[in-house]
Amino acid sequence: MVKITTVKTKPYTDQKPGTSGLRKRVTVFQQNQHYAENFIQSIISVIEPAERQAATLVVGGDGRFFMKDAIQLIVQIAAANGINHLVIGQNGIMSTPAVSCVIRKIKAVGGIILTASHNPGGPNGDFGIKYNISSGGPAPEGITNKIFDISKNLQEYLICPELKVDLSKIGKQTFEVDTFKPFTVEIVDSVEAYAEMLRGIFDFAALKELLSGPNHINVRLDAMHGVVGPYVKKIVCEELGSPANSAVNCVPQEDFGGHHPDPNLTYAADLVNTMKGGEYDFGAAFDGDGDRNMVLGKHGFFVNPSDSVAVIAANITGIPYFQKTGVKGLARSMPTSGALDNVAKALKMQLYETPTGWKFFGNLMDAGKLSLCGEESFGTGSDHIREKDGLWAVLAWLSILATRKQSVEEIMKDHWQKFGRNFFTRYDYEEVDSDAANKMIKDLETTMFDASFVGKKFSSGDKTYEVAVADNFAYTDPVDGSVSKNQGLRIIFSDGSRIIFRLSGTGSAGATIRLYIDSYEKDPQKIYQDPQVMLAPLVDIALKVSQLQEKTGRTGPTICVFIDAMSCTWKNQLVLSATVISPTDQGLRKRSIHWRNL
């Protein structure tokens, strides 16, 4: 018989789940007494005691440092609170999309995901705990607010301190817990249920032909030492026949090999450089928990995530899953570029614009209103589950390549020809002093809300933009009517170009300011122009209107996420480079230009 102990604790005031769960430095979880225990108890407390005796929870994580300790705590606290059954990925490993898949498949009441996603890991990195509900999606704000309220008042938690499970052994382990029905822990293969699901979504025979048939293409997939490695190995290499060496960094590591497991041009630079060599036709990278993806074509041709979802939308009928379900609607988060809107309009599909974070898509999907959605932050997914899904996105792209028999670059360029192009970029200013960041946003809001702001003209270089709309984005959920306010400051100009400022909800220290720029161009002569050149005036205007540099002391962003492979930071300054081709008497001259600190 396993004993239940009641432990007295003091509540913490800072356990508010952000955009995607509670994320803090590992040291916060380790050094504050009962910090993790408190939060786990707060999550389990939102499940009604009467429900718990029949309740199954799915547990898994991205393999980062402290995950195994947290899983043991979850086992002990779940048992002591009368949860009936836990399903855990072998060695704790389960990608975020796989957890969502398993919750749905076995009709669990929810799941707990141990991840800080793309944030670095290791003893000095970040850790995170996220709660998902029975739909398989991230808990909506109503529930995360409840968890937060409980955590602020928590005086004690229940735990079975002697209960230990072997996470490596597949199978069921049963424990007799004081006063409750037997408590079972089931360790499952991390990949199987998820692989089974993908087999039902895509045409695996066509993908196998593409990856290992006589005219196969060469792919390079970089798991960035995150959780997706075993999934890529099993599904893409073993099952679809891609050579073993086409997948790299596939062993999950507690510190992601010391890198940021973040699939963008800066942190997946290895992949970008390998792709430039021209040996591979298609490249992709994933984040720590496997829900994000970056897609590259031959020679490192970059597919902007906002474009990626638009391309999938325009080619969606080639995917067997959507042939069965039909296309119910499309959605993007507010800062994501309008590329998807252009497809929705042309193909007469319903489009929804939601706040940042995957949780807002769930209600629409549950109500049968949404099939495909994406975020500019390298997130793409569909209603097959309730999380974004990195490997799903890659198989969706490969399906398009298989059907269209064109390269990534050709597909992208065709798309722009047909729908026009949204030039898009995001600048991140990380670990800014919180007070300074809040003040900057507040001051900007005051400026924007001044009666004279709408209609005002801003110029930079030879471009002039007139303000058409200035607001703080608020979202009313079309399904349950709930309202989410303060989701980001938007300045929309009369030509549809947008400047957006918002504060990140996933950082673990200080504040991160995100600046998003979106500018639409339908002139076929201009769609191949350098994005940096196209966006420079709007960046300049954004910095002037917000006085970001003056108010935060930051001369450049910490990272400019995606203009193209040539932007980087140097001594805290943004360095942009572009290749300019100009006609001369001797023919075309290629010249690199660099400029700092727009």
117 is catalytic: yes
Out of Co ion, ligand VG1, none, what residue 357 binds, judged by CB under 5 to 8 A for its kind, is: ligand VG1
Strands 330-333 and 372-375: parallel
Nearer to ligand VG1 by Cβ, of 37 and 287: the residue is 287
**In angstroms, rounded to a whole number, what is the distance separating the alpha carbons of residues 97 and 71?**
18
The least distance separating ligand VG1 from the CB of residue 72, rounded to whole angstroms, comes to 23
Q: Give the residue, chosen from 291, 341, 477, 518, that forms a contact with Co ion under the rule CB under 5 A.
A: 291
Q: Which helix (H) or strand (E) holds 312?
A: helix 305-314
Q: Give the residue, chosen from 9, 11, 16, 19, that forms a contact with ligand VG1 under the rule CB under 6 A.
A: 19
The least distance separating Co ion from the CB of residue 493, rounded to whole angstroms, comes to 32
Stretch that binds Co ion, among 4-12, 215-223, 291-299, 502-510 (CB under 5 A): 291-299
Q: Which of 193, 137, 107 is nearest to 385 (CA)?
A: 137
Binding mask 180-209 for ligand VG1 (x = CB under 6 A): ------------------------------
Nearer to ligand VG1 by Cβ, of 56 and 333: the residue is 333
Out of ligand VG1, Co ion, none, what residue 529 binds, judged by CB under 5 to 8 A for its kind, is: none
Q: Name the β-bridge partners of 24.
A: 127
**In angstroms, rounded to a whole number, what is the distance separating the alpha carbons of residues 431 and 206?**
46
- Shortest Cβ contact with ligand VG1: which residue? 117
- CA 233 → CA 129, 190, 222, distances in Å? 26, 12, 11
Q: Give the residue, chosen from 350, 438, 504, 549, that forms a contact with ligand VG1 under the rule CB under 6 A.
A: 504
Q: Give the residue, chosen from 52, 260, 292, 298, that forms a contact with ligand VG1 under the rule CB under 6 A.
A: 292
- Please classify residue 504 by burial: count the beta carbons closer than 10 Å to its beta carbon, then call 0-12 exposed, 13-18 middle and 19+ buried: middle
Residue for token pair 């949404």? 370
514 binds ligand VG1 (CB under 6 A): yes
Q: Give the residue, chosen from 37, 289, 389, 521, that forms a contact with Co ion under the rule CB under 5 A.
A: 289
Nearer to ligand VG1 by Cβ, of 120 and 357: the residue is 357
Nearer to Co ion by Cβ, of 113 and 401: the residue is 113
510 binds ligand VG1 (CB under 6 A): no
Radius of gyration of the chain (CA): 24
Out of ligand VG1, Co ion, none, what residue 333 binds, judged by CB under 5 to 8 A for its kind, is: ligand VG1
Q: Give the residue, chosen from 506, 519, 552, 567, that forms a contact with ligand VG1 under the rule CB under 6 A.
A: 506
Q: Give the residue, chosen from 357, 362, 537, 557, that forms a contact with ligand VG1 under the rule CB under 6 A.
A: 357
Token pair recorded at residue 286: 């994933």
Q: Which helix (H) or strand (E) holds 588?
A: strand 587-596
Catalytic position from the list 100, 117, 151, 308: 117
377 binds Co ion (CB under 5 A): no
**In angstroms, rounded to a whole number, what is the distance separating the alpha carbons of residues 581 and 561?**
25
Please tell me whether residue 531 adopts helix, strand or coil conformation.
helix
260 binds ligand VG1 (CB under 6 A): no
- What are the φ and ψ backbone dihedral angles of 368, each rounded to 5 degrees? 70, 25
Asked whether the CA dihedral 185, 191, 192, 195 is positive or negative, the reply is positive
Q: Which of 183, 187, 172 is nearest to 1 (CA)?
A: 183
Q: Give the residue, chosen from 90, 274, 308, 333, that forms a contact with ligand VG1 under the rule CB under 6 A.
A: 333
Q: Give the residue, chosen from 17, 60, 329, 379, that forms a contact with ligand VG1 under the rule CB under 6 A.
A: 379
The least distance separating Co ion from the CB of residue 409, rounded to whole angstroms, comes to 27
Q: Give the residue, chosen from 141, 287, 376, 564, that forms a contact with Co ion under the rule CB under 5 A.
A: 287
27 binds ligand VG1 (CB under 6 A): no
Amino acid at 385: I
Nearer to ligand VG1 by Cβ, of 281 and 291: the residue is 291
Stretch that binds ligand VG1, among 158-166, 202-210, 500-508, 579-587 (CB under 6 A): 500-508
137 binds ligand VG1 (CB under 6 A): no
Q: Give the residue, chosen from 358, 392, 397, 416, that forms a contact with ligand VG1 under the rule CB under 6 A.
A: 358
CB of 488 closer than 8 Å to CB of 355: yes
Q: Which of 115, 148, 159 is nearest to 39 (CA)?
A: 148
What is the greatest pairwise CA distance in the chain?
Answer: 90
438 binds ligand VG1 (CB under 6 A): no
**In angstroms, rounded to a whole number, what is the distance separating the alpha carbons of residues 393 and 228?**
13
The least distance separating ligand VG1 from the CB of residue 291, rounded to whole angstroms, comes to 5
Q: Give the residue, chosen from 117, 306, 342, 354, that forms a contact with Co ion under the rule CB under 5 A.
A: 117
521 binds Co ion (CB under 5 A): no
375 binds ligand VG1 (CB under 6 A): yes
**In angstroms, rounded to a whole number, what is the distance separating the alpha carbons of residues 272 and 277?**
9
The CA-CA-CA angle for residues 562, 566, 572, to 5°, reads: 80
Out of Co ion, ligand VG1, none, what residue 552 binds, judged by CB under 5 to 8 A for its kind, is: none
Count of all residues that appear for the chain in the document: 598
- Residue 303, C-beta contacts closer than 8 angstroms, at least 6 positions apart: 294, 295, 296, 297, 311, 397, 408, 412
Phi and psi based region of residue 239 (left: phi greater than 0; alpha: psi -120 to 50; beta: remaining): alpha
Nearer to ligand VG1 by Cβ, of 82 and 390: the residue is 390
Q: Mind giving me the DSSP string for 456-486?
A: -EEEETTEEEEEEEEEE--EE-TTT--EE--
356 binds ligand VG1 (CB under 6 A): yes
20 binds ligand VG1 (CB under 6 A): yes
Please tell me whether residue 305 adopts helix, strand or coil conformation.
helix
The least distance separating ligand VG1 from the CB of residue 530, rounded to whole angstroms, comes to 25
Token pair recorded at residue 69: 């300790």
Binding mask 231-270 for Co ion (x = CB under 5 A): ----------------------------------------
Binding site for ligand VG1 (CB under 6 A): 19-20, 117-118, 287, 291-292, 333, 356-358, 375, 377, 379, 504-506, 514
Residues annotated as catalytic are: 117
